[in-house]
Amino acid sequence: MKQSIKFGLIGKNISYSFSKKFFEKKFQKLFLPHYSYDIFDLNDIQEVNTLFQNKALRGLNVTIPFKEKVIPYLDILSEEAEKIGAVNTILLKDGIKKGFNTDAIGFEKTLLIHKKEHHQNALILGNGGAAKAVQYVLEKYGIDYKTVSRNGKLNFENLTEELVKESPLIIQCTPVGTYPNTEEFLNFPFSGLTDQHLVIDLIYNPEYTAFLKRSADEGAKTVNGFYMLEQQAEKAWEIWNFQKK
């Protein structure tokens, strides 16, 4: 009998997560009955140390609110994770805990499918771990951006319609509007949006957030976070199974 190999997701209030179904379907497709995937809903990031003691554990996904907080508990970071300052994938191999950021590649693939030549100025809504991955990708492609956050110099109280008009690329990186709070949306001057805008909301549940609905009402092209989620998960799978070091 093959030795059991375990994977999982760490986060807080994550019963809604896509990852468990995604990876269990993959295990079935690849005939890997000795592989399993669990949800680890942690109250505090310190609890991750107990998980790391499980010898069968090969890899973890990391979601809100631990993408930055988990870093001190790791031995080494990939180049992208170090530059971004956030981790969403962990490989446990040969006693080493290595952090990666696959959000970046997931967002990059989403962006390249949908962006047009005029999408050269962006607003990033939020400043958490996912927003940092978005910043990394925009910098890679030379796209200027401003970050809007609750307590930042530019915030949701002083964000103007004019600045939205000047920023044809909008990326919503906060959890506001995620299931079960599907009617919630950020305080945002939607009237600044036009049919030249591309609005990407990284949320995937619900499929169409209140934020995207309001944006579409103003004529903007809208994209949710499902393709990004799929692509970052595929990259995590590649890291867990084929990473040399």
Residue 51: CA atoms inside 13 Å, Cβ hemisphere, count?
Answer: 30
Residue 114: phi and psi, rounded to 5, are -105, -20
- CA 68 vs CA 1, 63, 74, 153, 172: distances in Å: 38, 9, 11, 22, 18
AA letter at 44: D
Tell me which residue has tokens 């080493």: 96
Q: Note whether 92 and 155 are within 8 A (CB).
A: no
Q: Which of 67, 98, 132, 235 is catalytic?
A: 67
Q: Note whether 170 and 148 are within 8 A (CB).
A: no
Q: Note whether 214 and 189 are within 8 A (CB).
A: no
User: Which segments of the chain are extended strands (E)?
Assistant: 5-11, 35-41, 57-62, 76-77, 89-93, 96-100, 121-125, 144-148, 169-172, 198-201, 221-223
| Catalytic residue check, 221 | no
The two tokens of residue 65 are 């609110």
Catalytic residues: 67
